[in-house]
Structures are given as structure tokens and as C-alpha cells.
Amino acid sequence: MTSRVIAIDGPAGSGKSTTASAVAALLGLPHVESGALYRALTLAALDAGTAFVGQRLVALAHSLPVRLDLTDAGFRPEVAGTDVSEPIRSERVTARVSELSAIAEVREWVNEELRAAVERHPRGAVLDGRDIGTVVFPDAALKIFLVARPEERARRRLLQDGREATPEAIEHEVAELERRDHLDSTRAVAPLTQAADAVPLDTSDLTFEDQVEAIVSRARKAFS
């Protein structure tokens, strides 16, 4: 049976998370942001002073625990029972998360958490990340690969963070996005890549509403 999963993958700053959230709301499905788990474990490891070694990180994730609390109202990443939705977006987490997400044991732990979360929602779910359509749910009902020009991704990220999109800030942000793209696409385990059966969607010149609608209409067809 094809899994009732909508997989939205793409590089950093392509708008996956905000898009997935809006698509999920329109379809009445939960949204699972896989990057939040990598970020929550990065935050926990930095706070605990845990070395970035696979088994130690997974042990930390289980003991605290680091988890995704997923309800119909949405999800929240938690560390030891505390909501970490905000601190996982901090610069110090963003700077180290690609390094942690390149570790095979960490990826296995995240993938188990994601599959368990989806199993609790038989009506389906919308997941976003880098490898949802290629590795985590290769039988997803619909796979979307979001792309956008680097300058546009940088501009959106700055606005999302409440910062001004000056030419200097855009230049700095493009360099940071390209650094993460490179790390995410060249790592040995589950690199960022478009699934053969994914629908590519370049959002550079689309309004947010149009890009959400493009996915929702395909999802309705896939689920009908």
C-alpha cells in the first residue's frame, strides 16, 4: 500500500517548513518537520557538552528524551519535556546541525521517530526534510522537491527571522546557505538529492499561496 505521506524535500531555505505547514493545515493532516529533530538533538548535545559521536548522541536522545510531541494541533520538539521550538532556531544550533545530521546512527534514530509518529496518524501526514522521499518514506503518495534561487532563499530566510534583507545581509546568507547545501548534498549517508519520482517545484517566482496550492491539488489527486 502506498503510504499516505506527502514528502516535501529540498535545500535549506527553500521554504519547505512553512509550505509543508500550510499544506498540512489545508488537508487537515499533521505536519512533521524532520529538521526539528536534528536541531533538538544538536541543542541537547551542545547544552550537555556531549561529543558528536553517534552512540553517545543516540543515548542522550533516549535518556533526556529528545522527542517530537505530535498531536492533531501540530507538533512540538521537546528536550526533557521542555518545548524547544525557539532555541532550536538559534545560530549556535544552525552552525552545528549539518555536522550532527551526517552521523548514520543519528539518522537512524530520527527515521525511527518519524516512522513511529506517522504510524500514529493513519489518515496521513505531511513531512518535510532532505531525505523523506528518498529514504524515510520511499513509498510516499506524493513527493515534492522544492527549489528556489539562492538569493530568493536568502531573502526569505532573513524576512522570516525578522531581519532586514540588505544586499550585505543577503550575500552573507547566500554563503551560509551554500555552505549547508554543500554539507547536506555531499555527506556519505542519505545526501540531499531529488527522488526519481519527485515533482520538482521552483518557487522563486511563485507566490506562497500558489506554491501551496500547486502541492495541495496534487495531494488531493494522489489521495483520491
Q: List 150's β-bridge partners, or say none.
A: none
Instruction: Work out whether 156 is an interface residue with ligand DC (CB under 6 A).
Output: no
| Secondary structure in 3-state letters for 90-143 | CHHHHHHHHHHHCCHHHHHHHHHHHHHHHHCCCCCEEEEECCHHHHHCCCEEEE
CB atoms within 10 A of CB 161: 10
Query: Is residue 134 part of the contact set for ligand DC (CB under 6 A)?
Result: no
Does the protein bind ligand DC through residue 10 (CB under 6 A)? no
43 touches ligand DC (CB under 6 A): no
- Does 38 interact with ligand DC (rule: CB under 6 A)? yes
Q: Which stretch binds ligand DC (CB under 6 A): 19-27, 33-41, 67-75, 194-202?
A: 33-41
By beta-carbon proximity to ligand DC, the closer residue of 124 and 129 is 129
Candidates 31-39, 53-61, 161-169, 199-207: pick the segment binding ligand DC (CB under 6 A).
Answer: 31-39
111 binds ligand DC (CB under 6 A): no
84 is written with which cell numbers? 524547544
Q: Is 35 in the site for ligand DC (CB under 6 A)?
A: yes
Q: Cα separation of 190 and 158, whole Å?
A: 28
Q: Which residue has the cell 539562492?
A: 150
Q: What 3-state class would DSSP assign to 182?
A: helix
3-state SS string over 143-173? EEEEECCHHHHHHHHHHHCCCCCCHHHHHHH
Identity of the amino acid at 50: T
Q: Does residue 180 belong to the site contacting ligand DC (CB under 6 A)?
A: yes
157 binds ligand DC (CB under 6 A): no
Query: Which residue from 21, 101, 203, 211 is in contact with ligand DC, where contact means CB under 6 A?
Result: 101
Phi, psi (rounded to 5 degrees) for 76: -140, 135
User: Which grid cell sits at 135?
Assistant: 529514504
Q: Is 152 in the site for ligand DC (CB under 6 A)?
A: no
Rounded distance between C-alpha atoms, residue 199 and residue 160, angstroms: 25
Interacting residue with ligand DC among 98, 134, 203, 211 (CB under 6 A)? 98
Nearer to ligand DC, 83 or 217 (CB): 83
What's the min distance (Å) between Cβ of 4 and ligand DC?
19
Among the candidate windows 24-32, 34-42, 140-148, 198-206, which touches ligand DC by CB under 6 A?
34-42
Q: Which residues bind ligand DC (CB under 6 A)?
A: 12, 34-35, 38-39, 97-98, 101, 129-132, 180, 184
